[in-house]
Amino acid sequence: MDSITVLREKNILLGVTGGISAYKVCTLASHLTQAGAIVNVVMTEAATRFVAPLTYQALTGHPVYTDLFTTPGEGLPTHIAHVGLAHLADLLVIAPASANTLAKMASGVADNLLTTLALAARCPILAVPAMDVGMWSHPATQANAAILRERGVHFAGPARGRMASGLEGEGRMVEPDVILGHIRRVMGSAGALAGRRVVVTAGPTREMLDPVRFISNPSSGRQGFALAQAALDQGADVTLISGPTVLSTPVGAERVDVISAQEMCDTVLATTADADVLLMTAAVGDYYPAERATQKIKKSEAGLAINLIRTPDIVGAVASRRLTSGFPRVIVGFAAESERVVENARDKLLRKNLDLIVANDVTAPGAGFAAETNQVTIVDRRDGVTDLPLMSKAEVSEVIIQHVVALLPELDSSTGI
């Protein structure tokens, strides 16, 4: 797990209550720590029956708190554990959150260290319920959750699925990666893109020749999905328009799935009419077959000639509409090149009327399609060229978002906002 800027050096207080999914929260504690957060774990007495405090201590590198009357370990700034931990925290995550703990929180009961902290904390709280189907659907629990929501407590889940009891239904804790996504969302909510609408396209497009064959490219969607996450980390409202990929949607993004270039074009034009930013990361196919057979084309020894037609230039269409509408404020294109990378990219930037272009040499080792890493050069309209070293696609995304953030106020003021 890479370091995550929005979590780096942040104090996350992780409250664990008594439920079998406490074992999955060990993974969350580990991921948060690897991401660079300082994780202090507080367990209820029941939680310690499922997972030993030592497990969390080993994963986080910090002492685990279980007792309201214990004096804090070294390093805590104040003399009383509940005040010290609560004041230190940037976020209190309660996972799993049992029906019992939710009920206590809703009525302000403070009879153990965790519920006391929940009352003392002034930071945001994220509750991650996990319980039996009947307990979650019970009117008492539903009313408690509604009270907490109304007071500003964030909720992640619960999900539907198979429970430890063997029953199916709603009450299952959401997976650690999803909890992490919710944590990023809460921590980034006041970021530099708060209140901004960002549209990101990702993945390949696919043009069907017949019901079973298509023309496409090897784009995995990773760079676009990482960009959507980086924009979410800065508090943006993100629409992620994706071609066919196997990636899961970052928490908080509104995803629209498309297949063909024309579908992507229609969706991008519709969603960017009043957006602040378009990040056109998708590897849009340049051609589609003139005819699409309704039945599978029969093989023949004579081979097969396919007549191809150009797909619409999506980013070009958005940029020309902007000349009259002013939206989106910032348009970022991507250039996959195999030679004269910066020259070709600059040419594309000017020709398509973009604000930034992110160029990569798809022939470079570790860069481009499907790779986990990327090596890009960011070119702007003032001939600024930022050459980045080989980085993870998540890190590349953070730098691109910084460039976008730097451009926004300038463009806002130029259009009278």
Please give the positions annotated as active site.
217
Report the nearest approach of ligand C5P to the CB of residue 269 (Å). 11
Among residues 7, 193, 282, 341, the one that binds ligand C5P under rule CB under 6 A: 282
Structure tokens at 309: 């037609």
- Which 8-state DSSP code applies to residue 283? B
Query: Going residue by residue from 292 to 311, which x/- string records binding to ligand C5P, judged by CB under 6 A?
Result: -------------------x
Query: Going residue by residue from 341 to 370, which x/- string records binding to ligand C5P, judged by CB under 6 A?
Result: -------x----------------------
User: What is the rounded CA–CA span in Å between residue 200 and residue 198?
Assistant: 6
State yes or no: residue 315 binds ligand C5P (CB under 6 A): yes
Report the nearest approach of ligand C5P to the CB of residue 205 (Å). 8
Report the nearest approach of ligand C5P to the CB of residue 318 (Å). 8
What does each C-alpha distance from 149 to 69, 154, 166 come to in angstroms? 30, 6, 29
State yes or no: residue 284 binds ligand C5P (CB under 6 A): yes
State yes or no: residue 280 binds ligand C5P (CB under 6 A): yes
User: What is the rounded CA–CA span in Å between residue 126 and residue 112?
Assistant: 18
State yes or no: residue 288 binds ligand C5P (CB under 6 A): no
User: What is the rounded CA–CA span in Å between residue 83 and residue 67?
Assistant: 13
Residue carrying the six token digits 């976008």: 404
In sequence order, the β-bridge partners of residue 309 are 288
Tell me the window of 136-144, 294-302, 331-339, 404-412 that interacts with ligand C5P (CB under 6 A). Answer: 331-339
Report the nearest approach of ligand C5P to the CB of residue 244 (Å). 15
Q: Which residue lies nearer to ligand C5P by CB, 329 or 348?
A: 348
Q: Which residue lies nearer to ligand C5P by CB, 18 or 285?
A: 285
Q: Which residue lies nearer to ligand C5P by CB, 148 or 283?
A: 283
Residue among 356, 333, 346 at smallest CA distance from 402: 356
Residue among 259, 270, 265 at smallest CA distance from 328: 270
State yes or no: residue 335 binds ligand C5P (CB under 6 A): yes
Structure tokens at 326: 């002013």
Write the CB contacts of 329 (distance below 8 Å, at least 6 apart in sequence): 276, 277, 407, 408, 411, 412, 415
Report the nearest approach of ligand C5P to the CB of residue 223 (Å). 11
Among residues 313, 353, 369, 399, the one that binds ligand C5P under rule CB under 6 A: 313
Longest CA–CA separation in the chain, Å: 85
Among residues 72, 191, 333, 368, the one that binds ligand C5P under rule CB under 6 A: 333
Q: Which residue lies nearer to ligand C5P by CB, 173 or 261?
A: 261
∠ CA 175-179-180, rounded to 5°:
115
User: What is the rounded CA–CA span in Å between residue 398 and residue 403?
Assistant: 9
Report the nearest approach of ligand C5P to the CB of residue 356 (Å). 10
What does each C-alpha distance from 184 to 189, 230, 231, 252, 411 come to in angstroms? 8, 10, 11, 10, 28
User: What is the rounded CA–CA span in Å between residue 158 and residue 307?
Assistant: 50
Q: Is 392 exposed, middle or buried (0-12, 13-18, 19+ CB in 10 A)?
A: middle
Total of chain residues touching ligand C5P, rule CB under 6 A: 14
Q: Which residue lies nearer to ligand C5P by CB, 138 or 381?
A: 381
Report the nearest approach of ligand C5P to the CB of residue 287 (Å). 9
Kindly identify the residues of this chain, within the stretch 258-277, that bind ligand C5P according to CB under 6 A: 261
Site residues (CB under 6 A) for ligand C5P? 261, 280, 282, 284, 286, 311-315, 333-335, 348
